[in-house]
Amino acid sequence: MFDRIAGVYDVMNSVMTAGLHHRWRERAVDLASVGPGSRALDVATGTGDLAVALAARGAEVVGSDFSDGMLERARAKSSAVRWERANALALPYDDDSFDAATVGFGARNFSDLPRGLAEMARVVRPGGRVVVLEITTPTRPPLSTFFAFWFDRVVPLLGRATGEDQAYSYLPSSVKRFPGPAELAAVMAAAGLRDVRWIVTAGGIIALHSGIVDGQR
Ligand SMILES: C[S@@+](CC[C@H](N)C(=O)[O-])C[C@H]1O[C@@H](n2cnc3c(N)ncnc32)[C@H](O)[C@@H]1O
């Protein structure tokens, strides 16, 4: 599915979020706390926007994904990032190889969320950060009403306009079944992260979680 939608993915992101996704990525990068001299991994990197934003802070960055179609777009975007084909559930990196690992709008797609998060924690050194940027379901009106209308009605229509109905009907359903902020924090803690914190922003539509890799894992 991701290979198929790679060509429309960036345009759809900008249309669906009115361009705001770049701002949310910058906030995720802030939470990763990386800069010159640090190594960062962006898992499920897709077309690579989050990896590119990490590299812009001076970090040495690897962007990995299992979709060749997505990686092809990412490669065309930047040569400052090392793009690698990898399954997030079995990362081909040694323990403690990175100072931070991020995932943007990707954790929702992991077929095994605890395992994906545990893999991110494994490859980050103790004291380093794991950051998850995800869509979450707002619980309070009026945003919850608008969100339901936008996601359940408008997004599938936009998907149909691009010829990718299935992928953009999958998107709302994947958001609905993804754990809420407190539950996700608990899964991150169980994956070996301490001091897990989260921010819910954009009127309750976006959640940014971060945790520190525990030296005692
Ligand atoms: C919605 S896109 C997000 C892309 C990008 N991170 C972003 O911020 O826009 C989800 C990505 O997760 C990737 N993905 C899902 N499960 C994966 C897995 N187990 N291993 C590697 N990549 C995975 C897909 O190939 C896709 O590129």
Q: Is the pLDDT of residue 9 over 90?
A: no
Confidence of residue 90 (pLDDT cuts 50, 70, 90): very high
pLDDT at 181: 96
CA of 44 to the centre of ligand 1 (A): 4
CA of 91 to the centre of ligand 1 (A): 13
- Is the CB of 102 within 6 Å of ligand 1? no
CA of 142 to the centre of ligand 1 (A): 30
Among 10, 13, 66, name the best residue to mutate to test ligand 1's pocket (greatest count of ligand atoms within 8 A of Cβ).
66
CA of 46 to the centre of ligand 1 (A): 5
pLDDT at 2: 86
pLDDT at 150: 82
Buried b (16+ CB within 10 A) or exposed e, 67-100: bebbbebbeebbeebebeebbbeebebeeebbbb
Confidence of residue 217 (pLDDT cuts 50, 70, 90): low
Angle between helices 68-77 and 2-17 (to 10 degrees): 50
Radius of gyration of the chain (CA): 16
Question: Which residue is closest in CA terms to ligand 1's atom 25?
Answer: 67
Phi, psi for residue 173 in degrees, rounded to 5: -70, -35
Counting residues of the chain whose pLDDT is more than 90, the rounded percentage is 68
Q: Is the peptide bond before 181 cis (omega within 30 degrees of 0)?
A: no
**Mean local confidence (pLDDT), 69-98:** 97
Q: Is the pLDDT of residue 78 over 90?
A: yes
- Is the CB of 15 within 6 Å of ligand 1? no
Q: What is the pLDDT of residues 178-192, one digit of tens each?
A: 999 999 999 999 999
pLDDT at 167: 74
CA of 170 to the centre of ligand 1 (A): 14
Q: What is the mean pLDDT of the chain?
A: 92
Q: Is the pTM of this model over 0.75?
A: yes
3-state helix, strand, coil in the chain (%, to 5): 50, 25, 30
Rounded-to-integer distance, Cα 217 and Cα 51, Å:
26
Rounded-to-integer distance, Cα 76 and Cα 79, Å:
8
Least trusted range by pLDDT, from 94-108, 154-168, 196-210: 154-168
Question: Which residue is closest in CA terms to ligand 1's atom 4?
Answer: 46
DSSP 180: P
- Is the CB of 115 within 6 Å of ligand 1? no
Q: Is the pLDDT of residue 216 over 80?
A: no
Say what the alpha-carbon torsion angle 75, 100, 211, 178 is, to the nearest 10 degrees: 20
Give 131's strand partners.
102, 210
37 in Cβ contact with 116 (< 8 Å): no
Element (H, E) at 142: none
Q: Is the pLDDT of residue 149 over 70?
A: yes
Q: Is the pLDDT of residue 176 over 90?
A: no
- Is the CB of 2 within 6 Å of ligand 1? yes
Q: Is the pLDDT of residue 164 over 80?
A: no
**Mean local confidence (pLDDT), 3-18:** 82
Question: Which residue is closest in CA terms to ligand 1's atom 27?
Answer: 46
- Is the CB of 46 within 6 Å of ligand 1? yes
pLDDT at 116: 98
CA of 47 to the centre of ligand 1 (A): 9
**Mean local confidence (pLDDT), 169-174:** 80
Which position has the higher pLDDT, 6 or 180? 180
pLDDT at 12: 79
Give the residue carrying structure tokens 């998060």. Answer: 117
